Protein backbone atom coordinates (compact mmCIF):
# COMPACT_ATOMS: atom_id res chain seq x y z
CA UNK A 1 0.00 0.00 0.00
CA UNK A 2 1.44 3.33 -1.10
CA UNK A 3 0.94 5.83 1.75
CA UNK A 4 1.02 8.90 -0.51
CA UNK A 5 -1.17 7.58 -3.34
CA UNK A 6 -4.88 8.13 -4.06
CA UNK A 7 -6.53 5.32 -6.04
CA UNK A 8 -9.48 6.62 -8.07
CA UNK A 9 -11.90 3.86 -9.06
CA UNK A 10 -14.00 4.34 -12.19
CA UNK A 11 -16.32 1.59 -13.48
CA UNK A 12 -17.39 1.94 -17.10
CA UNK A 13 -20.47 0.40 -18.70
CA UNK A 14 -20.82 1.69 -22.27
CA UNK A 15 -19.49 5.03 -21.07
CA UNK A 16 -17.14 6.03 -23.88
CA UNK A 17 -19.17 9.20 -24.55
CA UNK A 18 -18.35 10.70 -21.15
CA UNK A 19 -15.22 8.87 -20.00
CA UNK A 20 -12.86 11.36 -21.64
CA UNK A 21 -14.32 14.21 -19.59
CA UNK A 22 -13.91 12.21 -16.38
CA UNK A 23 -10.30 11.29 -17.15
CA UNK A 24 -9.31 14.81 -18.13
CA UNK A 25 -10.74 16.11 -14.85
CA UNK A 26 -8.38 13.76 -13.03
CA UNK A 27 -5.42 14.73 -15.22
CA UNK A 28 -6.09 18.35 -14.22
CA UNK A 29 -5.73 17.65 -10.48
CA UNK A 30 -3.22 19.86 -8.70
CA UNK A 31 -2.40 16.82 -6.53
CA UNK A 32 -0.13 14.57 -8.65
CA UNK A 33 0.01 11.39 -6.57
CA UNK A 34 -2.86 9.36 -7.95
CA UNK A 35 -3.72 6.32 -10.02
CA UNK A 36 -6.99 5.98 -11.90
CA UNK A 37 -8.31 2.44 -12.21
CA UNK A 38 -10.76 2.13 -15.11
CA UNK A 39 -12.83 -1.06 -14.89
CA UNK A 40 -14.63 -2.21 -18.02
CA UNK A 41 -17.97 -3.85 -17.25
CA UNK A 42 -18.92 -4.31 -20.89
CA UNK A 43 -15.87 -6.20 -22.24
CA UNK A 44 -14.74 -3.16 -24.25
CA UNK A 45 -11.04 -2.28 -24.50
CA UNK A 46 -11.04 1.10 -22.78
CA UNK A 47 -7.28 1.42 -22.88
CA UNK A 48 -7.51 1.52 -26.67
CA UNK A 49 -10.50 3.88 -26.54
CA UNK A 50 -8.66 6.27 -24.20
CA UNK A 51 -5.64 6.29 -26.50
CA UNK A 52 -7.98 7.35 -29.30
CA UNK A 53 -8.77 10.39 -27.16
CA UNK A 54 -5.06 11.22 -27.38
CA UNK A 55 -4.56 10.45 -23.70
CA UNK A 56 -1.45 8.59 -22.59
CA UNK A 57 -0.53 8.57 -18.89
CA UNK A 58 1.08 5.75 -16.94
CA UNK A 59 -1.07 6.61 -13.91
CA UNK A 60 -4.07 5.24 -15.81
CA UNK A 61 -4.66 1.53 -15.18
CA UNK A 62 -7.15 -0.66 -17.00
CA UNK A 63 -8.88 -3.86 -15.96
CA UNK A 64 -12.17 -5.66 -16.59
CA UNK A 65 -14.82 -7.58 -14.72
CA UNK A 66 -14.80 -10.03 -17.61
CA UNK A 67 -18.55 -9.65 -17.81
CA UNK A 68 -21.20 -7.41 -19.35
CA UNK A 69 -23.33 -5.53 -16.86
CA UNK A 70 -22.18 -7.26 -13.68
CA UNK A 71 -22.98 -4.06 -11.82
CA UNK A 72 -21.28 -1.00 -10.43
CA UNK A 73 -20.64 -2.60 -7.04
CA UNK A 74 -18.90 -5.62 -8.52
CA UNK A 75 -16.79 -3.40 -10.79
CA UNK A 76 -15.78 -1.15 -7.90
CA UNK A 77 -14.85 -4.16 -5.80
CA UNK A 78 -12.59 -5.32 -8.65
CA UNK A 79 -10.94 -1.92 -8.53
CA UNK A 80 -10.50 -2.10 -4.76
CA UNK A 81 -8.79 -5.47 -5.09
CA UNK A 82 -5.98 -4.05 -7.22
CA UNK A 83 -5.79 -0.51 -5.82
CA UNK A 84 -2.31 0.38 -4.61
CA UNK A 85 -3.12 3.62 -2.79
CA UNK A 86 -3.75 4.12 0.90
CA UNK A 87 -6.48 6.58 -0.07
CA UNK A 88 -9.52 5.55 -2.11
CA UNK A 89 -11.83 7.73 -4.17
CA UNK A 90 -14.56 6.94 -6.69
CA UNK A 91 -15.47 8.79 -9.85
CA UNK A 92 -18.35 7.69 -12.06
CA UNK A 93 -17.43 7.79 -15.73
CA UNK A 94 -20.08 10.43 -16.43
CA UNK A 95 -19.08 12.81 -13.63
CA UNK A 96 -15.98 14.94 -13.02
CA UNK A 97 -13.63 16.22 -10.34
CA UNK A 98 -12.72 19.86 -9.90
CA UNK A 99 -8.94 20.43 -10.10
CA UNK A 100 -8.49 20.94 -6.37
CA UNK A 101 -10.59 18.00 -5.15
CA UNK A 102 -7.77 15.71 -4.05
CA UNK A 103 -5.51 18.40 -2.61
CA UNK A 104 -8.39 19.88 -0.60
CA UNK A 105 -9.83 16.66 0.79
CA UNK A 106 -6.67 14.70 1.61
CA UNK A 107 -5.85 16.86 4.69
CA UNK A 108 -9.39 16.20 5.96
CA UNK A 109 -9.00 12.48 5.30
CA UNK A 110 -5.79 12.46 7.34
CA UNK A 111 -7.63 14.21 10.18
CA UNK A 112 -10.90 12.24 10.19
CA UNK A 113 -10.24 9.03 8.24
CA UNK A 114 -12.62 10.01 5.43
CA UNK A 115 -13.95 13.17 3.81
CA UNK A 116 -16.56 14.36 1.33
CA UNK A 117 -17.44 17.68 -0.25
CA UNK A 118 -20.40 19.55 -1.61
CA UNK A 119 -21.22 19.12 -5.31
CA UNK A 120 -22.09 21.08 -8.40
CA UNK A 121 -25.24 19.51 -9.81
CA UNK A 122 -25.49 20.03 -13.58
CA UNK A 123 -27.49 19.00 -16.62
CA UNK A 124 -25.45 16.60 -18.73
CA UNK A 125 -26.64 18.06 -22.03
CA UNK A 126 -26.47 21.80 -21.34
CA UNK A 127 -23.96 21.93 -18.44
CA UNK A 128 -26.41 24.27 -16.71
CA UNK A 129 -26.49 24.28 -12.92
CA UNK A 130 -29.44 22.43 -11.40
CA UNK A 131 -30.97 22.79 -7.97
CA UNK A 132 -29.04 20.94 -5.27
CA UNK A 133 -31.43 19.59 -2.64
CA UNK A 134 -28.62 18.62 -0.27
CA UNK A 135 -28.29 20.35 3.09
CA UNK A 136 -25.07 22.20 3.92
CA UNK A 137 -23.67 21.41 7.39
CA UNK A 138 -22.09 24.17 9.44
CA UNK A 139 -19.21 22.09 10.80
CA UNK A 140 -16.05 20.68 9.23
CA UNK A 141 -17.35 17.16 9.81
CA UNK A 142 -20.57 15.15 9.60
CA UNK A 143 -22.13 12.39 11.70
CA UNK A 144 -24.49 9.55 10.71
CA UNK A 145 -27.43 11.93 11.19
CA UNK A 146 -26.12 14.13 8.36
CA UNK A 147 -25.23 11.61 5.65
CA UNK A 148 -28.50 11.20 3.76
CA UNK A 149 -29.37 14.91 3.97
CA UNK A 150 -25.96 15.98 2.67
CA UNK A 151 -25.35 13.21 0.14
CA UNK A 152 -28.79 13.70 -1.37
CA UNK A 153 -27.98 13.22 -5.05
CA UNK A 154 -25.06 10.83 -4.69
CA UNK A 155 -22.91 9.45 -1.90
CA UNK A 156 -19.93 8.59 -4.11
CA UNK A 157 -18.15 11.83 -3.24
CA UNK A 158 -15.81 10.44 -0.63
CA UNK A 159 -12.13 9.86 -0.19
CA UNK A 160 -11.16 7.53 2.63
CA UNK A 161 -8.11 6.02 4.28
CA UNK A 162 -8.22 2.27 3.72
CA UNK A 163 -5.77 1.67 6.59
CA UNK A 164 -8.64 2.80 8.84
CA UNK A 165 -11.64 1.71 6.76
CA UNK A 166 -11.60 -1.68 5.06
CA UNK A 167 -14.96 -2.21 3.37
CA UNK A 168 -16.34 -3.51 0.09
CA UNK A 169 -19.57 -2.86 -1.79
CA UNK A 170 -22.63 -5.02 -1.09
CA UNK A 171 -23.31 -7.12 -4.18
CA UNK A 172 -26.88 -7.81 -3.06
CA UNK A 173 -27.90 -4.22 -3.82
CA UNK A 174 -28.41 -3.42 -7.52
CA UNK A 175 -29.08 0.22 -6.59
CA UNK A 176 -28.18 2.59 -3.75
CA UNK A 177 -24.85 0.94 -2.81
CA UNK A 178 -23.07 4.20 -2.01
CA UNK A 179 -25.13 5.24 0.99
CA UNK A 180 -24.64 1.88 2.70
CA UNK A 181 -20.95 1.89 1.82
CA UNK A 182 -20.56 5.39 3.29
CA UNK A 183 -22.50 4.53 6.45
CA UNK A 184 -20.16 1.57 7.03
CA UNK A 185 -17.32 4.07 7.50
CA UNK A 186 -18.77 4.73 10.97
CA UNK A 187 -17.89 1.16 11.95
CA UNK A 188 -14.35 2.40 12.61
CA UNK A 189 -14.43 6.23 12.61
CA UNK A 190 -16.67 8.66 14.52
CA UNK A 191 -17.06 11.49 12.01
CA UNK A 192 -16.39 12.21 8.32
CA UNK A 193 -14.64 15.41 7.27
CA UNK A 194 -16.71 17.79 5.16
CA UNK A 195 -15.75 20.59 2.76
CA UNK A 196 -18.45 23.10 1.82
CA UNK A 197 -16.68 24.02 -1.41
CA UNK A 198 -18.16 22.06 -4.36
CA UNK A 199 -15.33 19.80 -5.54
CA UNK A 200 -17.32 17.19 -7.48
CA UNK A 201 -19.46 17.75 -10.57
CA UNK A 202 -22.47 15.45 -10.71
CA UNK A 203 -24.17 15.34 -14.09
CA UNK A 204 -27.85 14.49 -14.20
CA UNK A 205 -28.47 12.40 -17.28
CA UNK A 206 -31.61 10.82 -18.70
CA UNK A 207 -31.40 7.06 -18.65
CA UNK A 208 -28.84 6.75 -15.86
CA UNK A 209 -29.44 4.42 -12.94
CA UNK A 210 -30.52 7.39 -10.82
CA UNK A 211 -32.82 9.09 -13.30
CA UNK A 212 -34.41 6.52 -15.56
CA UNK A 213 -38.16 6.11 -15.15
CA UNK A 214 -37.71 2.37 -15.76
CA UNK A 215 -35.64 1.74 -12.62
CA UNK A 216 -38.26 2.25 -9.91
CA UNK A 217 -38.56 -1.48 -9.28
CA UNK A 218 -34.79 -1.83 -8.90
CA UNK A 219 -34.67 0.95 -6.32
CA UNK A 220 -37.68 -0.50 -4.48
CA UNK A 221 -36.00 -3.90 -4.38
CA UNK A 222 -32.79 -2.40 -3.00
CA UNK A 223 -34.59 -0.41 -0.32
CA UNK A 224 -36.50 -3.47 0.84
CA UNK A 225 -33.31 -5.54 0.76
CA UNK A 226 -31.56 -2.95 2.94
CA UNK A 227 -34.37 -3.10 5.51
CA UNK A 228 -34.25 -6.89 5.44
CA UNK A 229 -30.50 -6.86 6.05
CA UNK A 230 -30.89 -4.40 8.93
CA UNK A 231 -33.70 -6.42 10.53
CA UNK A 232 -31.74 -9.67 10.25
CA UNK A 233 -28.48 -7.97 11.25
CA UNK A 234 -26.69 -8.98 8.05
CA UNK A 235 -25.90 -5.49 6.82
CA UNK A 236 -22.29 -4.28 6.93
CA UNK A 237 -23.08 -1.44 9.34
CA UNK A 238 -22.15 -2.19 12.94
CA UNK A 239 -22.42 1.34 14.34
CA UNK A 240 -25.81 1.41 16.09
CA UNK A 241 -26.56 5.04 15.30
CA UNK A 242 -25.60 4.66 11.64
CA UNK A 243 -27.77 1.57 11.37
CA UNK A 244 -30.75 3.28 13.02
CA UNK A 245 -30.46 6.38 10.81
CA UNK A 246 -30.21 4.20 7.70
CA UNK A 247 -33.35 2.29 8.66
CA UNK A 248 -35.31 5.49 9.30
CA UNK A 249 -34.21 6.97 5.98
CA UNK A 250 -35.12 3.88 3.96
CA UNK A 251 -38.52 3.61 5.63
CA UNK A 252 -39.25 7.24 4.74
CA UNK A 253 -38.17 6.69 1.15
CA UNK A 254 -40.41 3.61 0.85
CA UNK A 255 -43.38 5.63 2.06
CA UNK A 256 -42.63 8.25 -0.54
CA UNK A 257 -42.31 5.57 -3.22
CA UNK A 258 -45.88 4.49 -2.44
CA UNK A 259 -47.07 8.07 -2.79
CA UNK A 260 -45.12 8.44 -6.03
CA UNK A 261 -46.76 5.32 -7.49
CA UNK A 262 -50.16 6.95 -6.96
CA UNK A 263 -49.17 10.44 -8.12
CA UNK A 264 -47.51 9.33 -11.34
CA UNK A 265 -50.83 7.88 -12.50
CA UNK A 266 -52.27 11.39 -12.28
CA UNK A 267 -49.19 13.04 -13.78
CA UNK A 268 -46.98 10.70 -15.84
CA UNK A 269 -44.37 13.45 -16.28
CA UNK A 270 -43.77 13.74 -12.52
CA UNK A 271 -40.26 12.76 -11.45
CA UNK A 272 -39.44 11.24 -8.08
CA UNK A 273 -37.10 14.15 -7.31
CA UNK A 274 -39.89 16.67 -7.95
CA UNK A 275 -42.17 14.85 -5.54
CA UNK A 276 -39.44 14.56 -2.93
CA UNK A 277 -38.66 18.26 -3.24
CA UNK A 278 -42.31 19.14 -2.56
CA UNK A 279 -42.27 17.08 0.62
CA UNK A 280 -38.97 18.55 1.76
CA UNK A 281 -40.30 22.08 1.26
CA UNK A 282 -43.18 21.50 3.67
CA UNK A 283 -41.05 19.50 6.09
CA UNK A 284 -43.13 16.38 5.64
CA UNK A 285 -40.08 14.13 5.81
CA UNK A 286 -38.51 15.70 8.92
128 compared with 254, residue with greater pLDDT: 254
**3 state DSSP class of 170:** coil
Residue 79 pLDDT more than 90? Answer: yes
Q: What is the DSSP string of 17-46?
A: HHHHHHHHHHHT-S---EEEEEEESBS--H
Question: For residues 137 and 194, what is the distance between their CA atoms, to the nearest angstrom?
Answer: 8
CATH code given to domain 2-204: 3.90.550.10
Residue pLDDT, tens place only, 177-205:
888 999 999 999 999 999 999 999 998 76
Nearest Cα to Cα of residue 226 among 260, 162, 284, 175: 175
pLDDT at 176 (0 to 100): 84
pLDDT at 131 (0 to 100): 63
151 compared with 179, residue with greater pLDDT: 179
Amino acid sequence: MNSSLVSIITPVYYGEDTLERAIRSVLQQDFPHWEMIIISDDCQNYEKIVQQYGIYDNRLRFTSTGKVGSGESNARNKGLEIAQGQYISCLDCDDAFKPQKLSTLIPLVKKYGAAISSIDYRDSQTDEFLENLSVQPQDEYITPHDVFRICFHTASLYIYDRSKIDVYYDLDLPAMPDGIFLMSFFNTIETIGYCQEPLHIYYRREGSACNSKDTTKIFMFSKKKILEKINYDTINITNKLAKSVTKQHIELMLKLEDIYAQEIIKDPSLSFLELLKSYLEVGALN
